[in-house]
């Protein structure tokens, strides 16, 4: 039997080869795709998330783990769809207008995928109108706005206003180096996360 403990360890270590081999073996043995996702991939990424929050691992290790998970997910995703396994929730992540930074955004996306979210990448330099349109088009529940420059932070306020004007129940969370909880409160965001691992907990709480 394919061992889910070995699979989660492979994700933690960022061992792509083992992660792919065990995922394939588990599928071949007829293991439920949801079990492989929960007990193997998500279990591994959860450990990385906790370690990242505690400063025991850093961004390079998170990226390596996320890459291993991505490779395994490529094999598993079609099976999850066939089995009708529903994602935890649908999230849209992007960097606000005027800002071209994407490392933080990509990290949050990887961590959300690792937690079982279906994630849509809005890209960088995204206007308020584009965020609203993409959220509507994809049936998004949680939107994550990223900014790395103090000069682009006002675009967050503009985007939140656009969502409020559009109505609907989409929740908006914000993050990025210059962003604070105080700023999130001031502009009416539904939440603020100081790092990628916290963003996952926040997104779950907003569903």
45: tokens are: 């990424």
Assessment of whether the complete model's pTM goes beyond 0.85: yes
- CA-nearest of 110, 92, 103, 121 to 206 is 92
82, 102, 135 — which closes off a domain? 82
- CA-nearest of 156, 147, 146, 33 to 91 is 146
98 and 126 housed in the same domain: yes
- Crossing angle between the packed helical segments 43-53 and 59-82, to the nearest 10 degrees: 150
Query: Which residues, including other chains, have CB under 8 Å from residue 49's CB and lie 6 or more apart?
Result: 111, 114, 115, 196, 197, 200
The CATH number of whichever domain residue 192 belongs to comes to 3.40.50.280
Q: Which domain holds residue 68?
A: 4-82
Mean of all residue pLDDT scores within the chain: 95
148 and 48 housed in the same domain: no
167 and 74 housed in the same domain: no
pLDDT digits (tens, 9 = 90+) for 7-55: 999 999 999 999 999 999 999 999 999 999 999 999 999 999 999 989 9
152 and 75 housed in the same domain: no
| Per-residue confidence (pLDDT) for residue 207, from 0 to 100 | 95
11 and 109 housed in the same domain: no
155 and 62 housed in the same domain: no
| Per-residue confidence (pLDDT) for residue 28, from 0 to 100 | 97
48, 82, 116 — which closes off a domain? 82
> How many domains are there within the chain?
2
169: tokens are: 């129940």
61, 82, 103 — which closes off a domain? 82
């Amino acid at each position: 039997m394919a061992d889910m403990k070995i699979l989660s360890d492979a994700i933690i270590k960022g061992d792509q080869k083992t992660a792919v081999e065990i995922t394939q073996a588990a599928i071949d043995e007829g293991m439920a795709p949801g079990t492989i996702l929960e007990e193997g991939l998500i279990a591994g990424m959860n450990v990385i998330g906790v370690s990242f929050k505690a400063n025991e691992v850093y961004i390079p290790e998170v990226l390596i783990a996320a890459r291993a998970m991505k490779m395994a997910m490529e094999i598993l995703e079609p099976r999850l769809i066939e089995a009708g396994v529903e994602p935890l929730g649908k999230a849209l992540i992007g960097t606000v207008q005027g800002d071209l930074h994407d490392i933080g955004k990509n990290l949050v996306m990887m961590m959300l995928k690792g937690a079982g979210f279906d994630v849509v990448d809005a890209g960088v330099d995204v206007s308020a109108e584009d965020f609203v349109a993409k959220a509507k088009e994809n049936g998004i529940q949680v939107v994550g706005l990223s900014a790395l420059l103090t000069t682009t932070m006002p675009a967050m306020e503009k985007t939140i206003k656009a969502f409020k004007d559009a109505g609907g129940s989409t929740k908006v969370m914000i993050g990025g180096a210059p962003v604070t909880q105080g700023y999130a409160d001031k502009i009416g965001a539904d939440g603020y996360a100081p790092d990628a691992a916290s963003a996952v907990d926040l997104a779950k709480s907003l569903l």
